Every structure is written in structure tokens, then in C-alpha cells.
Amino acid sequence: MALPILYSYRRCPYAMRARMAIWAANIQVEVREISLREKPAHLLQISPKGTVPVLQLPDGTVLEQSLDIMQWALSQSDPQGWLNADPEAVNALITINDGDFKKALDRYKYPDRYPEHTQQFYRAQGEQFLQQLEHALTQHTFLLGASASMADIAIFPFIRQFAAVDAEWFAGSDYAKLRVWLEGGLQSPLFEKVMQKFPTYTQ
Ligand SMILES: N[C@@H](CCC(=O)N[C@@H](CS)C(=O)NCC(=O)O)C(=O)O
């Protein structure tokens, strides 16, 4: 039987969150690792916007947003109960992550491309979200409760990137709970699985 096709890019945080949900749901897919510079014709044909992740189901349905892919995968099977958290609370956190925080992250990572402000300025902007997450994690082990939810999985790859911009700064920062939370994700067998390397699909 044909497998769903996942167009992915290993280091893309959106693709990471989609892969984590697919892997957690134990769904077999054909992973097509792409080069962002040379996108496969079939990807652009089924999803002209040209971002990854994109999932094509065997019936031809195309899911071209990472959150839709997560929802689809977890609605097939959700052994860890990631969909159990209040959807409004999940969406509220992910909206900030994918909006203001991602904007600050891009600027913090590439300050040369945004010379209006200093790198420290952009970091401070991103820290508003880190503070919110740190506060949540002082109340419970995961962002929305005692167990991980879709919010933790969807946000984790972006915090990973933010922390990696200046690992020394992050290690010495005030975000002790967030560091533990991040480290838990980084050390998880699931993360190791989704970061395995696939050959680049060039057709
Ligand atoms: N809203 C999209 C965003 C996906 C996205 O922006 N992916 C980046 C890679 S991290 C991409 O494919 N960019 C296209 C490019 O760089 O050409 C989603 O949630 O799936």
C-alpha cells in the first residue's frame, strides 16, 4: 500500500514538529528530505507555496501546514495524549510562538539582515516569550500541565533554535525550568528518531 509522502527538511523547526507528531503516532511515511534551494517539482506541483513540511496522503489530500499535519497525525493515534490539553490554551501559546516569537528569533539569529536594532534588542524581544514559558514551567512540568501536549511539541524546536544562537548566554540565563524542559526534549528518544538523516530527494 502506498505510504503518505512527507516533504521535509531536517533542520526546519516546522518540519521537526510535524515529524515528532507523525513518529509519536507511529505512522509510516515516505520521507523526502529536500534541498530548499532545489525544491522537487512534485512538491511545488502539490503545494506551490514551496514550504516544508508538506504531507500528501495516499488519497491525494495535501496538508501543507505543520500544525495541520500534527493534528492529522495525532487524530489517527495519540498514545501520549498530546491532544488532551485545552485546545484554546494550546492555540494561544502556539500563536505567540509562530508569530511574535518566530519574528524575534529570525532577527536574533540573523541580526545583520535586520540592522535597525541590535542582536540584544531582538533577544530581549524573544525573551518575553521565554519568560512566559518559564512562568508556566514553575507551575507544572510541561507547558500546560503535568504531561506534554501539542504545545510543548510544536514550540520545542523553536526554543531549541533560540537557545542555540548563544548557548553560553542561554546556559547562564534565568530560564532554569525552561532549560530542563528543553534538555528533556533534546534527550528524548523521539527527538533522536526524528533527527535521523535521510538522503536528499532531488527528483
Ligand atoms: N507555516 C508553515 C511554515 C513552514 C516554513 O516556513 N518552512 C520553511 C523552512 S523552516 C520553508 O520551507 N521555507 C521555504 C524556503 O526557505 O524556501 C508551516 O507551519 O508549515
User: In this structure, are residues 71 and 46 in contact, taking their beta carbons and an 8 Å threshold?
Assistant: no
Q: Whose CA is nearest to atom 6 of ligand 1?
A: 51
Which percentage of the chain shows pLDDT scores above 70?
A: 100
Q: Whose CA is nearest to atom 11 of ligand 1?
A: 51
DSSP secondary structure of 99-135: IIIHHHHHHHH-GGG-TTS-HHHHHHHHHHHHHHHHH
Residue range 92-131, pLDDT digits in tens: 999 999 999 999 999 999 999 999 999 999 999 999 999 9
Which percentage of the chain shows pLDDT scores above 90?
A: 99
Average pLDDT over residues 152-173: 98
Q: Which residues, including other chains, have CB under 8 Å from residue 176's CB and lie 6 or more apart?
A: 134
Q: In the predicted model, is pLDDT for residue 1 greater than 80?
A: no
The one-letter amino acid at 36:
L
Distance CA(41)–CA(92), nearest Å, equals 35
Q: Full-prediction pTM beyond 0.95? A: yes
Average pLDDT over residues 178-203: 96
pLDDT on residue 135: 98
pLDDT on residue 83: 98
Q: Which residues, including other chains, have CB under 8 Å from residue 31's CB and lie 6 or more apart?
A: 6, 8, 19, 198
pLDDT on residue 203: 80
Residue range 49-66, pLDDT digits in tens: 999 999 999 999 999 999
Q: In the predicted model, is pLDDT for residue 68 greater than 90?
A: yes
CA quadruple 190, 44, 46, 4: dihedral sign: negative
Helical H segments across the chain, by residue range: 13-24, 41-46, 66-76, 87-96, 102-109, 119-139, 150-165, 167-171, 176-186, 189-194
If you average pLDDT over every residue of the chain, what do you get? 98
Residue range 6-39, pLDDT digits in tens: 999 999 999 999 999 999 999 999 999 999 999 9
Would the CB of 51 count as within 6 Å of ligand 1?
yes
**Closest Cα to residue 36, out of 55, 10, 62, 17?**
10
Of ligand 1's listed atoms, the one at least distance from the Cα of 65 is 20
Would the CB of 50 count as within 6 Å of ligand 1?
yes
The one-letter amino acid at 183:
E
Would the CB of 158 count as within 6 Å of ligand 1?
no
Would the CB of 129 count as within 6 Å of ligand 1?
no
